[in-house]
A and B are shown apart, each in its own frame.
Chain A
């Protein structure tokens, strides 16, 4: 998929999410902690992704400005 199409798709999804009927609740009101909003901040996630880090060149996290540990690409 071309980057421009991907960006358009993501913008469309964000727009749809923004016009979703307003539901006032905080994250503590999510039905169950299994949804784990903070899962990516745990060490568990880092030990699982470690094997891929030096073998693959694509950003394994999908890119959110985090990481920045690759001396080759600077990302």
Chain B
């Protein structure tokens, strides 16, 4: 039995006691990804105390069978995150005036090919959330510091310039996001954020999403769009040029019984990478992703945050460079009371 399985078993057996929670929410999911020649398995576990919202998440991705070393699925990846919520003083109605949510995480990855490359990323951050507008708008402020380390790469660019990537990189991200419950049928969300990194120009991103419930057909439409810009002078310490990316997605969540929901979705993505070298080629990456999820909730009229449910998800992802990926995933979420 490998270390990951032992750790997962210990978490599931012991954490409810460690969390000192009367009830514990658990989630587990497994997903298989394939590009036709190679296959990888993603296993994820999450456990969360119901009263204190202390949450531990563990994930692991690894090849299944023979793996092409140049496949995007190649390599191993293991990560964990630990997050919690600390409520501020409560109002007369008993709801917290604000909530502080600290988190830490670790992600290790290893790609195995002709040249094995190991990379580790660690981060620590916190978020602060509060409601305004008579509890119709929730605001969240985020601040995060990331430390990454990887083997240094020394290559010569197309203009003859030497590129030497650093072994250690630090970055800071800050952002604000909000969710506005505009009407009983409509909510919309948005976010603005920036990333300041040692080796890259400053990055800025924004996203908007609207969700509308159409009562006559018992369905909801979720539409979102985002923009990411990491542009400016690129120094010879990174292999990636300046990036501008746009994405949009559309999902239709259809009730097909009191407990079952079928949710097909589509995501469109386009990215332009302008190289550092003046004589380098501008790369344009476009992708289409189509996916469908079937969700079964064990209790009807159960609010999502407490709901126990089972899901199945299938999808395909295709780029304009000829890459095709398929996935099949299944997961379960339940609440245990001790």
A residues at B contact (CB < 8 Å): 1, 3, 6-7, 10, 13-14, 17-18, 20, 22-39, 42-44, 46-48, 50-52, 54-66, 68-75
Contacts and interface: CB of A to CB of B under 8 A. Distances in A.
Contact of A43 (B27, B148, B175): B27
Given A46-B59, A71-B148, 19 more contacts: A23-B183, A25-B136, A25-B181, A30-B184, A33-B307, A35-B211, A36-B211, A44-B29, A44-B313, A50-B327, A57-B240, A57-B245, A59-B203, A62-B191, A62-B207, A64-B142, A65-B193, A69-B105, A74-B146
B291 interface: yes
B324 to A, nearest CB: 10
A34 B253 contact: yes
A75 B333 contact: no
Interface stretch (B16-24, B119-127, B154-162): B119-127
A52 B245 CA distance: 13
A65 B229 contact: no
Interface of B: 27-29, 31, 33, 42, 44, 46, 59, 61, 72, 79, 105, 107, 109, 119-121, 123, 125, 127, 133-137, 140, 142-144, 146, 148-150, 169-175, 177-185, 187-188, 190-195, 197-200, 203-208, 211, 213, 215, 218-220, 222, 224, 226-230, 238-240, 243-247, 253, 255, 261, 265, 267, 269, 271, 273, 285, 287, 289, 291, 293, 295, 302-305, 307, 311, 313, 315, 317, 319, 323, 325, 327, 329, 331, 333
Nearest first, the 10 A-B pairs at minimum CB distance are: A74-B171, A58-B245, A62-B207, A65-B142, A62-B226, A63-B205, A74-B197, A63-B193, A34-B220, A65-B175
A17 B246 CA distance: 24
A14 B206 CA distance: 13
Nearest to B261: A34
A20 to B, nearest CB: 6
Contact of A64 (B33, B140, B317, B329): B140
A74 B27 contact: no
A71 B188 CA distance: 31
Nearest to A3: B204
Contacts of A39: 222, 304
Nearest to B212: A35
Contacts of B200: 72-74
